Amino acid sequence: MIHVDQMDLAGAFPKDRASFSLSIPFLRRRGEDGKGDGAGTKKGMICASEGVFKRFSLCAIVFDSLKNPDKPISGTIRTEAQARAVPGGKKGGDMETIKSTDCVVSLENKYGMIFGMANELSIAYGVAKVCRAAGAEIGVTYLNEKAEHYVRPLAEKLESTIIMPCNVQKAGELEKVFDEVKKKWGRLDFLLHAIAYAPLQDLRLRLADVSLEGWTIAMDVSVHSFIRMARLAEPLMTRGGCLITLSYLGGERVIRNYRMMGPVKAALQQTTEYLAAELGDKGIRVHTISPGPIMTRAASGLADFEELLKEQYARAPESYVVSNEDVGFLAAYLASDRAKGMTGNLIYLDSGYNIMGE
């Protein structure tokens, strides 16, 4: 059985044709245990008969065969939750090796910088893995010497041609990264801003009690660094490009224990919209991905994070725990040429939790 994840199928199906072609951005083969091995998956267009599709956000399509992709084939629609309702299915990707056939979108001949990787659990690593598998050449930064011990081996697995330190609070370090991009690659096609920070003593306080120093640091590292990256990337994105950052639902709604990071993320999301408006005429697209809770080193700084994760996914329509790899597939699509015409978006990847009332 072939399992296909599609970001949004709303309005994708014409009613006046007996059959039609559907461009699928994510394609993964699933075994009976619900895990992906990528074997035998094909790239390209998938034909399907009219009448079997309904409007879904994040839907699953299970086809009996892809042996002849040039002819219409019969199929059935199931929600993602139903498709994953197999032994071992209610779980995100396990970060196994991603193969080039896992992602239909191509990032061949594209160069991308990944900022904010800390270890193999980082969202940034999940994005880097998928983008590399899709054909991109990847550059990676690490915070300091301590972080290099964990990041460099991962970057080497990705065959990264740029591996550099980058502490956005240190004058000149971010600029050196972009200087190296210009020297080694000559241009830049996409970047991921996966950087957020607030001093722990302020992060645990009520918003009303946060210090000016703590607030300034959080805004500088989490928001203004993205603005600086956009400014430095603009002259290098000679063929257009894509800037991606990460947020969370706490940037729009009050989430228990998210505290000061809520308004910080709100500022980041609004920044995305203004950058998209300003850079659109250069062909540079800007997006914010808002995943559901993912256990990373940064998340460990939030009080009762594990409890929050369990509660949110228990209430989410899909009850599916989003993985770093899932974020990677979405980011790869946004960075690809298939996503032209999209910019300034806040895109949820949280199994539908954002639609639920309290």
User: In the structure encoding, which two tokens stand for residue 323, read together?
Assistant: 């993985």
DSSP H or E run through 252: none
CA distances from 236 to 4, 180, 192, 317 (A): 34, 11, 15, 41
Question: DSSP secondary-structure letter at 86?
Answer: S
User: In the structure encoding, which two tokens stand for residue 225, read together?
Assistant: 């660094």
Question: DSSP secondary-structure letter at 62?
Answer: E
Other Cβ atoms less than 10 A from the Cβ of 74: the count is 10
- Widest CA span in the chain: 64
Q: What is the pTM of this model?
A: 0.72
How far apart are alpha carbons 256 and 253 in whole angstroms?
10
Question: DSSP secondary-structure letter at 212?
Answer: H
pLDDT computed for residue 320 by the predictor: 87
* Contact criterion met (CB below 8 Å) for 335 and 242: yes
How far apart are alpha carbons 259 and 207 in whole angstroms?
6
How far apart are alpha carbons 13 and 49 in whole angstroms?
10
For the chain, domain boundaries: 2-83, 104-355
Residues contacting 281, CB < 8 A, separation 6+? none
Secondary structure E strands in the chain: 2-8, 19-23, 26-29, 45-49, 57-63, 75-79, 111-115, 137-142, 162-165, 190-193, 241-246, 284-291, 345-349
Question: DSSP secondary-structure letter at 18?
Answer: S
| Per-residue confidence in pLDDT tens, the chain, 358 aa | 233 333 333 333 333 333 323 333 333 333 334 444 333 333 333 233 223 222 222 233 322 333 333 434 333 333 333 333 333 334 444 445 666 555 579 999 999 999 999 999 999 999 999 999 999 999 999 999 999 999 999 999 999 999 999 999 999 999 999 999 999 999 999 999 999 999 999 999 999 999 999 999 999 999 999 999 999 999 999 999 999 999 999 999 998 888 999 999 999 999 999 999 999 999 999 999 999 888 665 555 555 667 777 888 888 999 888 999 999 999 999 999 999 999 999 999 999 989 997 6
Question: Which homologous superfamily is 104-355 in?
Answer: NAD(P)-binding Rossmann-like Domain (3.40.50.720)
User: How far does Cα 268 stand from its chain's mean position?
Assistant: 16
* Contact criterion met (CB below 8 Å) for 139 and 163: yes
How far apart are alpha carbons 245 and 213 in whole angstroms?
24
pLDDT computed for residue 30 by the predictor: 34
- Hey, which residues are catalytic here? 248, 258
Three-state DSSP state, 36: strand
pLDDT computed for residue 278 by the predictor: 98
- CA-based radius of gyration for the chain: 20
pLDDT computed for residue 12 by the predictor: 37
Helices (H), the chain: 80-83, 123-133, 145-157, 173-184, 200-203, 212-219, 225-233, 261-279, 305-315, 324-335
pLDDT computed for residue 44 by the predictor: 31
Residues contacting 76, CB < 8 A, separation 6+? 52, 61, 62
